[in-house]
């Protein structure tokens, strides 16, 4: 679930205090209203009357993991192609029309989903609903447009990945961690496969996956289900579903048999660093509270400046300028845990990695203290409290969670389930996950002298 990611662990101390004193019911996430159209479109409505504004999101249950092998990047490609027009909307007109009406928009892709959103005044909601419904089934683009946009994506990859040594190493590490599972393929795609993408394959992908019975409409803001239902029916209800949607079954990797390592050197590297990634369970693959326990366990290990890694390496031993860990527990096909650290000048990566291993070994041996457990759960609960103040955050939480196999109840009950995690549960998940034989360690370094 989105709240389990390390990005949510940066909230102010006042929120932690709120979490400590608020009763459990006050920390529950709001329960949205839901309904489903006859064509299979799932609709989620999160009412927020504080301002005459709405966030309109369409989540497609398709992402980079659903691409045919050898055609990586095609899911992300549609972030671009979906703005190229339909019979009724000219190329680029979608974005211009939203901007003319004072709105904002964007799109994003993961391995598990692709999402498009607009934030706009309530009285302009029908405008974006009509345009979004139109491009769900009626997208058009020429050969020239396809070729031009493919070049744009190739350049995007060069700027974001190929010119970023850390990103290059991250791709290599993930490919080693998932040698067969599609999570080992970058979302943006491999460069040589992007260059080979063809228009017909793209259209086949679009016609299969971009359908109402493969989508979730999330609307958060100044509206309720009674008001939204006739609008959803008017604009989305007429769209035809895809018959016999493909099953989202992915090849599984064999068990790991030993630790893996890579070293990546680049002249752009000024500060050496080390990182490690482990395979892990996720909210879609766990049983009971396993993923909740893992989120808590990794929060204790490296989720903040009060964590084990930061206190030991940065504050006490003073051999690192940064150190931390994060759990990515939201994947439909599983998750991962990452650990990273950057040494101070004069400390080698050998020394730093040995110190990281010592902290992890002590944690797995002794487990967390009750104070650490309480602090980690309060920090994560504070993130839930904070998210309630943003309609965009709530729309993202519910949309991403539903697209990745969770239910409304899973989301609503998440804060309570986090609070229920015991010390033994957290320690068990840490021991099951932080296994060196199921990891990839990477060293990022400048070129060797003389190169």
Last residue of a domain, one of 235, 252, 281: 235
CB 330 within 8 A of CB 346: no
The per-residue pLDDT for 427 is 98
218 and 282 share one domain:
no
**Residue 59 sits in the same domain as residue 176:** yes
Residue 442 pairs with which residues in a beta bridge?
Answer: 262, 275
Considering the domain architecture, whether residues 225 and 277 belong to the same structural domain is answered as no
Residue 199 domain-assigned?
yes
pLDDT confidence of residue 238: 96
- Tell me the sheet residues that pair with 54: 120, 221
Residue 70 lies in a domain: yes
User: Which of 235, 269, 296 is the endpoint of a domain?
Assistant: 235
pLDDT number for residue 19: 36
Beta bridge partners, 220, equal 46, 55
Closest CA to 19 of 382, 306, 373, 376: 382
Res 18: pLDDT: 34
The strand pair at 439-445 and 273-280 is best described as antiparallel
Bridge partners of 59?
Answer: 115, 216
> In whole angstroms, what is the distance from residue 336 CA to residue 324 CA?
14
Gap between the Cα atoms of 248 and 182, Å rounded: 11
Predicted local distance difference test score (pLDDT) of residue 448? 85
Query: The whole model's pTM is what?
Result: 0.91
How many structural domains comprise the chain?
2
Angle between helices 199-209 and 74-81 in degrees, nearest 10: 90
- Can you give the pLDDT at residue 1? 38
Question: Same structural domain for residues 363 and 276?
Answer: yes
Show which of 202, 235, 268 is a domain's final residue: 235
Residue 391 lies in a domain: yes
Tokens for 112, please give them.
């598990």
With contact defined as beta carbons under 8 Å apart, do 29 and 411 qualify? yes
What pLDDT does residue 382 have?
A: 84
- Asked whether residue 254 is domain-assigned, the answer is no
What lies within 8 Å, CB to CB, of 369 at 6+ separation is none
Q: Cα separation of 182 and 177, whole Å?
A: 11
Residue numbers of the domain that contains 206: 40-235
Catalytic residue among 33, 67, 79, 419: 79
| pLDDT < 50 regions, the chain | 1-26
* pLDDT for residue 122: 98
Q: Is 406 a domain residue?
A: yes
Specify the CATH number for the domain of residue 325: 3.30.830.10
Q: Are residues 188 and 326 in the same domain?
A: no
Of 336, 337, 383, 377, nearest to 360 by C-alpha is 337
pLDDT of residue 29: 75
Shared domain for 208 and 130, answered yes or no, is yes
Active site residue 353: no
Burial of 47 (0-12, 13-18, 19+ CB in 10 A): middle
What is the distance between the alpha carbons of residues 309 and 409, in angstroms, rounded to a whole number?
Answer: 34
Give me the pLDDT at residue 22, please.
Answer: 42
Task: Round to whole Å and give the CA distance between 378 and 391.
Answer: 22
Is residue 312, in this structure, part of any structural domain at all?
yes
Asked if the structure places residue 23 within a domain, the reply is: no
Same domain, 431 and 324: yes
Give the strands of the sheet with 53-60, arranged side by side: 33-36, 42-47, 215-221, 53-60, 114-121, 104-109
| Distance separating alpha carbons of residues 372 and 6, to the nearest angstrom | 17
- Residue-level pLDDT at 28: 65
77 in any annotated domain: yes
Do residues 441 and 325 both lie within one domain? yes
Q: Are residues 213 and 119 in the same domain?
A: yes
Looking at the fold, whether 434 and 318 belong to one and the same domain comes out as yes
User: Do 183 and 326 fall within a single domain?
Assistant: no
Same domain? 110 vs 169: yes
Contacts of 85 (CB under 8 A, 6+ apart): 91, 92, 93, 94, 139, 140, 141
- Give the whole-angstrom CA distance, residue 35 versus residue 44: 7
Question: What is the rounded distance in angstroms from the CA atom of residue 377 to the CA atom of residue 368?
Answer: 12
Q: Which pLDDT belongs to residue 33? A: 97
């Amino acid at each position: 679930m989105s709240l389990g990611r390390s990005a949510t662990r940066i909230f102010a101390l006042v929120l932690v205090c709120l979490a400590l004193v608020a009763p459990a019911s006050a920390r529950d996430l709001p329960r949205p209203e839901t309904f489903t159209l006859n064509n299979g479109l799932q609709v989620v409505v999160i009412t927020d009357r504080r301002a005459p504004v709405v966030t309109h999101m369409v989540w497609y249950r398709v992402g980079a993991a659903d691409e045919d092998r050898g055609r990586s990047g095609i899911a992300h490609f549609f972030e671009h192609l979906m703005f190229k027009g339909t019979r009724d909307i000219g190329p680029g007109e979608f974005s211009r029309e939203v901007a003319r009406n004072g709105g904002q928009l964007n799109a994003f892709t993961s391995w598990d989903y692709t999402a498009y959103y607009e934030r706009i005044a309530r009285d302009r909601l029908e405008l974006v609903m009509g345009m979004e419904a139109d491009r769900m089934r009626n997208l058009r683009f020429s050969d020239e447009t396809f070729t031009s946009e493919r070049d744009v994506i190739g350049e995007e990859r060069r700027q974001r990945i190929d010119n970023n040594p850390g990103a290059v190493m991250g791709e290599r590490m993930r490919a080693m961690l998932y040698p067969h599972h599609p999570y080992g393929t970058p979302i943006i795609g491999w460069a040589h496969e992007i260059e080979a993408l063809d228009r017909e394959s793209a259209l086949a992908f679009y016609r299969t996956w971009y359908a109402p019975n493969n989508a979730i409409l999330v609307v958060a803001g100044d509206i309720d289900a009674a008001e939204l239902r006739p609008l959803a029916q008017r604009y989305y209800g007429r769209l035809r579903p895809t018959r016999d949607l493909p099953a989202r079954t992915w090849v599984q990797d064999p068990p790991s048999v030993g630790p893996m390592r890579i070293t990546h050197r680049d002249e752009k590297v000024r500060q050496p660093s080390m990182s490690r990634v482990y395979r892990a369970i996720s909210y879609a693959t766990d049983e009971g509270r396993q993923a909740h326990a893992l989120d808590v366990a990794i929060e204790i290990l490296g989720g903040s400046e009060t964590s084990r890694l930061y206190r030991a390496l940065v504050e006490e031993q003073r051999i690192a300028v940064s150190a931390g860990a994060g759990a990515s527990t939201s994947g439909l096909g599983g998750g991962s845990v990452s650990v990273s650290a950057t040494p101070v000048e004069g400390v080698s990566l050998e020394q730093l990695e040995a110190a990281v291993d010592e902290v992890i070994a002590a944690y797995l041996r002794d487990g967390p203290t009750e104070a650490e457990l309480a602090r980690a759960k309060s920090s994560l609960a504070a993130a839930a409290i904070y998210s309630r103040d943003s309609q965009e955050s709530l729309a993202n939480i519910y949309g991403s969670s539903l697209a990745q196999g969770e239910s409304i109840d899973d989301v609503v009950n998440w804060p309570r389930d986090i609070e229920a995690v015991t010390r033994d549960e957290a320690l068990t998940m840490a021991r099951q996950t932080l296994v060196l034989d199921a990891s990839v360690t990477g060293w990022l370094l400048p070129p060797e002298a003389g190169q």
